[in-house]
A = this chain, B = another copy of it.
Amino acid sequence: VTQGSTSGSRRSQRNAGQVVRPALSRESIIKTALDIVDQRGIAQLSMRKLGGELGVDPMAVYYYLPNKQALFDGLVEAVYAEIDFDIPEDGTVSWRYPLETFGRNLRKTLSQHPEMLQLVATRPVLSPNILRYSEWAIAILEAAGFTGAQAVNFVSCLRSFTVGHAFAELSEPVGAPAASEEEITAVLTERFPKLAEAITGGYRPDQQYELGLQAMLDGFEDLRPRA
Contact = CB atoms under 8 A, between A and B. Distances in A.
Interface of A: 73, 117-118, 121-126, 131-132, 134-135, 138-139, 142, 147-149, 151-153, 156-157, 159-165, 167-168, 170-172, 174-178, 184, 188, 191-195, 197-199, 201, 207-208, 211-212, 214-220, 222-223
A160 to B, nearest CB: 3
- Majority DSSP secondary structure for residues of A touching B: helix
Nearest to A207: B153
A135 B149 CA distance: 37
A165 B164 contact: yes
Nearest to A220: B215
B164 A215 contact: no
B197 A148 contact: yes
Contacts of A167: 121-122, 160, 163-164
Contacts of A195: 131, 134-135, 138, 152
B157 A165 contact: yes
A211 to B, nearest CB: 5
A211 B159 contact: no
Given A121-B171, A142-B194, A157-B211, 9 more contacts: A117-B121, A121-B167, A126-B175, A148-B198, A161-B161, A163-B164, A164-B164, A215-B223, A216-B219
A222 B123 CA distance: 36
Given A134-B195, A164-B163, A126 B177 contact: yes
